[in-house]
Copies of this chain bind each other. A is one copy, B any other.
Amino acid sequence: MTLPMTLDDLPTPCLVLDLGRLRRNLAAMQAAVDRHPGLVMRPHLKTAKSIEVAKLASPDFGPVTVSTLAEARYFAEAGWHDQIYAVGIVPAKLDAVAALNAAGADIKVITDDLEVARAIAAHPGPVRALIEVDVGEGRGGIPPEDPALTEIGAALGARLAGVLSHSGHSYNGRSPEEMAAIAEVERAGIVVAAERLRAAGLAVPIVSLGSSPTALYARRMDGVTDVRAGVYMFGDLFQAQLGTHAVGDIALTVLASVIGRSAARNTLLLDAGALALSKDRSTQAAPRDYGFGLVLDRHGAPLPGEPNIARAYQEHGEVRSEQPLPMLPLGARLRVAPNHCCLTAAAHDRYHVVDGGEEVLAVWGRVNGW
């Protein structure tokens, strides 16, 4: 497919990324980070997985975060050398990291395990690690006060790069005040961990925390060197429910064609189903349940009655509304805003970039898989 093209030229279903909204989301986050002098933004590229998006989020090839070896390789080869690979490492993956580092990258892994720390220290290739600290989410990491912290630090020795936490439970916050409170618990915890390691005579250059709500709402960041966030770039319905942005700021949508209609059932069928949207139901427990996504017009603007995708089959999305739906002709195009942009984006291999209008300005790739 060659440019110029418009929304009508795109095969459906496919991703549409609004450049203006993306830029505004990036600027809003940068402003939030800039409230804290000296704090470095380390964007998490697991959402976008795209060099072109990374060029906007980290234009000077600054520090970034990744979630797979495939991302680490893709972004290292494209020039982002300072990476944290922020999923607990296992020994079998160290060779791949060390090979990328030997070729010029500086990919830091994370661990919360003494045996793995010893494997990292003993690895012949260049690889450093951060210790994963649990600040209340209860997923990975060890508590800041855990005696194992300094043992792991000592095992890593010169290969200790810092400490890292993730406050995924900030997504349970329902107001800026609640999210700010969770952020302060995270900050205090990760700083305690860093200070304990320093008191044991270890260097702790990186003190990294993050999640989009933490990054936006934290009131203090003293003792923290960098903050990680990813979902803010695109936004989604769940984030909008949290209040971190408005529905109108969601930059990523799925373009779909109407493939069925039933006035009797008051339904439309779209060719965007479970594979194109994902089966993420993040908004199920939120104040407003959008099913499998909010249906918008072809320009990404709201429709009367706010119809949503009530049922998602493999390739069919069934649109329902409490108001009578327009019985659009088959082939008419609509957009669907996702519950969870990370998962919806991962179903696709490219972005079609628009800027509020019909014209497709660019096609940007993604790196999927592991």
The answer to whether A87 and B316 touch (CB under 8 A), given A92-B257, A278-B278, is: yes
When all copies of this chain in the complex are counted, the total is 2
A315 close to chain B: CB less than 8 A: yes
Q: Which of A46-103 contact B (CB under 8 A)?
A: 46, 67-69, 87-93
Residue of A91, A92, A93, A311 most packed against chain B (CB within 10 A): A92
Cα-based distance from A269 to B134 in the complex (angstroms) = 14
- With A and B bound together, what is the CA distance between A14 and B271 in angstroms? 28
Asked whether A269 lies within 8 Å of B139 as measured between CB atoms, the reply is yes
User: Once the chains bind, are A140 and B260 in contact (CB under 8 Å)?
Assistant: yes
Which residues of A (308-335) have their CB < 8 Å from a CB of B? Answer: 311, 313-316, 318, 329-331
Q: Are B259 and A87 in contact (CB under 8 A)?
A: yes
Nearest-CB residue, chain B, relative to A114: B330
Q: How far is the CA of A46 from the CA of B12 in the complex (A)?
A: 17
A260, B342: Cβ atoms closer than 8 Å: no
Q: Which of A46, A68, A261, A314 has the most CB of B within 10 A?
A: A314
Which stretch (A179-187, A213-221, A343-351) binds chain B? A343-351
Which DSSP category, helix, strand, loop or mixed, fits chain A's interface?
loop
Q: Is the CB of A279 within 8 A of B138?
A: no
- Report the separation of the CA atoms of residues A319 and B245 in the bound assembly, to the nearest whole angstrom: 32
Q: Could you say which residues of chain B place their CB within 8 Å of the CB of A236?
A: none
In-complex Cβ contact of A91 among B271, B278, B331, B347 (8 A): B331
Q: Does A280 contact B (CB under 8 A)?
A: yes
Q: Which of A116-159 contact B (CB under 8 A)?
A: 116, 138-140
A274 at interface, CB cutoff 8 A = yes
Contacts A12-B370, A280-B279, A318-B139 known; A168 to B313 CB distance under 8 Å? Answer: yes
Task: Answer yes or no: A307 CB below 8 A from chain B CBs.
Answer: no
Q: Please indicate the chain B residues that have their CB under 8 angstroms from the CB of A313 in the complex.
A: 139, 168
Q: Is A112 an interface residue (CB 8 A)?
A: yes
Known: A168-B313, A313-B139, A318-B139. A88 touches B274 (CB 8 A): no
Measured CB to CB, the nearest residue on chain B to A110 is B259
In the bound complex, CA of A346 to CA of B349 (Å): 13
The residue that A260 contacts in the complex, of B68, B88, B265, B281, with Cβ under 8 A, is: B88
A335-366 near B? 1/0 per residue, CB < 8 Å = 00000001100111100000000000000000
Chain B residues within 8 Å of A93, by CB: 11
Expressed in whole angstroms, the Cα–Cα distance for A317 and B169 within the complex equals 16
Q: Could you say which residues of chain B place their CB within 8 Å of the CB of A257?
A: 90, 92
29 A-B pairs (CB sep. < 8 Å): A11-B92, A11-B370, A12-B370, A46-B315, A67-B315, A87-B316, A88-B269, A88-B330, A90-B330, A92-B257, A92-B331, A113-B261, A115-B329, A116-B330, A116-B331, A138-B265, A139-B313, A140-B260, A140-B316, A168-B313, A274-B280, A275-B343, A278-B279, A279-B279, A279-B280, A279-B343, A281-B281, A314-B343, A349-B368
Excluding A12-B92, A67-B314, A314-B343, 12 further A-B contacts by CB distance (< 8 Å) are: A13-B370, A67-B315, A87-B259, A90-B271, A91-B331, A92-B331, A113-B261, A139-B313, A139-B316, A139-B318, A168-B313, A278-B279
